[in-house]
Structure 1
């Protein structure tokens, strides 16, 4: 299965995007949509959480603006079920929902929202005790999420997010995520895994090289997709190179096609 790139750039936590959304600057938004698609994004993530009082209105405007030029589906990124509910009637393709977690004030509401819906969902390994401390905790929560979603969504619609923490706050966070992905892929056959890639490098210099090397390690453990910057050509090149070296690219065709379209600096 091709590695799934979820383009992360339309997030109002980024000052330029917050300004563009506030000013209803469709041109800036749509140029970023086109650029991310051209570089391989299979989903366009949209997040308007920075505008707490206007999140729903901003989300609806952003969906319409993105869909006017996008040929790929959207990843609707909000922890608020009300924001997600407001998006359904204006979506023109089955979306990815980011996200559901095991937190008691969110899980039942999200199950109700997802019933009967045609969508993919990012399932965060988070519960009321907070971020996981060990890979075993991540795996236990992954099992609970899959069990809780049984009968609501097909297993192939579930993407488990192990919740990557920055190595700047704990140097074991990278290793924990790697171990968790490997365990999830072994213990829950067929389930997909995804992560917010740039979390690993938060607070550190030279973040791009950290993200790139971490991504190659995660793909080796079975990671299926990432919320990431598709415009980082070194990062997308790392995906194609890693898949080729792992024997996941028949006759190296994916790598060669990528090189033809995006010359790699060697």
Structure 2
């Protein structure tokens, strides 16, 4: 399971002032905690700082990479900010995101090629947000096929089927699961990711729903998620699910995690 740590995001109440004030110690400590929890990427997002986003994102990239060895997920709606973040990044980054919208695709694709980055492919086109599994599969097919034709390796693509809150549509959970299963079976080498906590937005005891949904989604083919890695239970469930799904040869990673005390029951 590829874990993308979600905590360095200026939409979080405590993070925005830290980025505005360039509080290096706070940001680096948050990054270190996520690395210690076992993330594969640390997400950096300062999208709420619209006027200063490119400069703030560049600072975030430099600041976080001073503190951790894992690569970053450069997360922005602004291609200028993405470019500035990529210029500051060392190694192969993950960019969030490209879509099938003509303008967005044409702006982001050259950056992915220039900086040899992995890319989150968000299943949205010029018709807007998808409604159900069928829409998600159709847009994902269009987007992935275009990326492959334009020379992006399949293993560099992370399809995001756009999880929306189940509190506003009781069928949303099943729509996403059906889409994940179809997309993962159609494209063997691509990854499928998601903003996991979107499923529980607006509901009580959100962690419980997030934990349960991660297990369900992994059983249908999802192999990545943007989540809170400091939730020890969800990290343990990700490890246990990988083991039960045959992705942990001889259960060696599970046994190692158990012996080191990294698993929470």
TM-score range, shorter chain: over 0.9
**Match for residue 249 of structure 1?**
248
Q: Given the alignment of the two structures, is residue 60 of structure 1 paired with residue 65 of structure 2, yes or no?
A: no
Give the one of 31, 43, 46 matched to 2:44: 46
Unaligned runs of 5+ in 2: none
Segment of structure 1 superposing worse, 83-92 or 191-200: 83-92
Q: Give the drift of 1:77.
A: 0.1
Corresponding residue SS for 2:165: coil
Alignment of 1:31-180 (within 5 A): 31-150=29-148, 151-180=150-179
CA–CA distance in structure 2, aligned partners of residues 262 and 10 of structure 1: 26
3-state SS of 1:45 partner: strand
Contact kept, 8 Å, 1:233 with 1:262, in 2: the verdict is no
Deviations, residues 175-206 of structure 1 (Å, cap 9, x unaligned): 11100000001122222111110000000000
Q: Which moved more, 1:162-171 or 1:183-192?
A: 183-192
Q: Normalization by structure 1: what TM-score?
A: 0.96
Contact 2:236/2:264 (<8 A) preserved: no
**By how many angstroms is 1:234 displaced?**
0.3
* TM-score, length-scaled by structure 2: 0.96
SS in 1 for 2:236: helix
Which residue pairs with 1:231 in the alignment? 230
Q: Distance in 1 between matches of 2:264 and 2:68?
A: 29
Q: Is the 8 A contact 2:74 2:86 kept in 1?
A: no
Give, in angstroms, the shift of residue 263 of structure 1.
4.8
Q: Offset of 1:213 from its aligned partner? A: 0.3
Q: CA 1:136–1:29 in structure 2 vs 1: closer, same or farther (change >3 Å)?
A: same
Matched, 1:12 2:10: yes
Q: Is the 8 A contact 1:143 1:188 kept in 2?
A: no
How many residues align structurally? 264
Change (3 A) 1:224 1:265: closer
SS of aligned partner of 2:164:
coil
1:220 corresponds to: 219
Query: Aligned in 2, Cα 1:49/1:253: closer, same or farther, shift over 3 Å?
Result: same
